[in-house]
Structure formats: C-alpha cells, structure tokens
Amino acid sequence: MQITNLLKKPKSPYVYICGAGPGDPLLLTLKTHHLLTHIADIVVYDRLIPEAIIDLIPDDVPKIYAGKSCRNHHMTQDEINQCLVEQAASGKVVVRLKGGDPFIFGRGGEEMLHLVQNNIPYEVVPGVNAADGCAAYADIPLTHRGISRQVVFLTGHQQKGSHSPIDYASLAKPDQTLVIFMGVTQLEAIITNLLGEGMDQDTPCAAISGGTTESEILFVAPLKNFYQEVLAQELPAPTLIIIGQVVSLSDKVKQLCEQKNHSSNA
C-alpha cells in the first residue's frame, strides 16, 4: 500500500492547517505534499512559502495570498480567520499553508480556535519548525551532552498592549539554548537584560537569515557585541537568533572538516 493511500479526501467543510517547513521545499512533509497535490480545493498561503511549494499546487486549485510581515499585512489575522471559515463553509476543503510549524509562533492556535467556534472541522498538520530546521542546516545542535540540556523558544514580538515581564534570570542560565524568533527588533533589549542577569558576555550567538535555503546567511559573534554586529550585517528577514554554547559547535565542525580535507590532500 502506498503511504498516500492512507489519506482520503474528507467531506467539506474541512480545513487543514499545515506547516510548510522553514524554507527548503524538500522539508515539506509527505502529508502536506499530498494535501496540496491531491486533496485541496483551495489553498490559503503565507508570505514565506517558497515558490517551489506553491508550484506543486495544481493550476485549477485557487490560491489566496494571506501574507504578513512586520507592520505590513496583506490580510490581518482576523481577516485570515474569517477567510478560512467562509471558504470552508462554501463547500471546500481548505489547506491553510503556514511557514515553519503552525503551533510554533505561527498563530495556528488562533485559527484553530476560530474554526472550532464556527463549527468547522479541521486538522493540524505539523511542519519542521524554523528552530529545528535552521539550526540543523547550520550545524548547531540545540541540545548537546555536557553543554546544553534544555531549549527555550522565545518570540521577539509581543502582542500589542501586552506588558508581560520576561524572566531574564531564568533565561541567563549557562546550560541552555535560547532560540529567538522574529527577534532582531528587540535584540538590543534582550541582550542588555541577559547581560544584566549575569550571562557570560562571551557566550556565542548566531543569526541565521534565510535558513535552510540557498540564500542562507550564518553570522556568529559573542553576546557582548552581537547586537551591533548583527545590525552591521543588515540581514534580510526572516532572521532566527540562537544564543548558547552550542553555537560554538558549528565552528568546531567546520574546523574538523577542514583538517580532514587538509590531511586527505597532503
């Protein structure tokens, strides 16, 4: 039996909230691939979905662009929520395609709740999130025995009107990895607070722009001057920030590979 035979088209109305992964089209899951190519009656997709994934969708399947970037929303989240309900209620099986994973700073939970409130059946299909994907492609293990035993995901964006304090004391621990999504605009304040809570100023940090894609840029610097150097790089969005001793393993891998290449060519 082919694995795709396990997935049958549901009766409409129905919405699949799918993660498309962090950028490399080959990280798309088999399930989401099959939903796009054989199941969807309509696809509502985000700004960061690669063209190669959009091209998978049959020409006769309508596509609705629902892109959002900082202070520039083609559709607001409320409009996206309502669009999903209206399209599904009109008798369609909708694939809502989101970058990364829908439940990791992807607002997939808000869309799910809106569907439930409007009696629209749904399913959430996870995707490779940006933290896992970008770190792996940059040779940065988020955990490593003897170096980091826990990972904390943070967002650099706070909900408008929110003043919830961040517990920087708990974030400044030396044996953990911090991964900051959408964090460049708040990076100066984050670093200032981490240093204020005693984090080692030489803690290695990485900024990954366009992670997992051909345009990927990896920039590494110590915490003490990381913000200024990131600004100088003018990295295009989206940029993921990783802070922790595990970042140093990326350079170690590079050095070991160079040593091996040198030895084999000697």
| 23 dihedral zone (left: phi>0; alpha: psi -120 to 50; beta) | left
Say which of 68, 139, 224, 251 is annotated catalytic.
68
- What are the tokens at 28? 């798309």
Spatial CA neighbour of 135 closest among 104, 171, 105, 180: 180
Residue for token pair 């997709």: 45
Q: How many CB atoms lie within 10 A of CB 246?
A: 22
Quote the crossing angle between the two packed helices 223-233 and 187-196, to the nearest 10°.
170
- State how far the Cα of 155 lies from the Cα of 20, in Å rounded to an integer: 19
Those residues with Cβ within 8 angstroms of residue 151's Cβ, 6 or more apart along the chain or in another chain: 131, 142, 143, 176, 177, 178, 179
Say which of 24, 41, 46, 101 is annotated catalytic.
46
By DSSP bridging, strand 68-69 and strand 72-73 are: antiparallel
Verify whether residue 68 is a known catalytic residue: yes
Verify whether residue 202 is a known catalytic residue: no
Those residues with Cβ within 8 angstroms of residue 136's Cβ, 6 or more apart along the chain or in another chain: none
Spatial CA neighbour of 123 closest among 9, 4, 21: 9
Residues recognised as catalytic: 46, 68
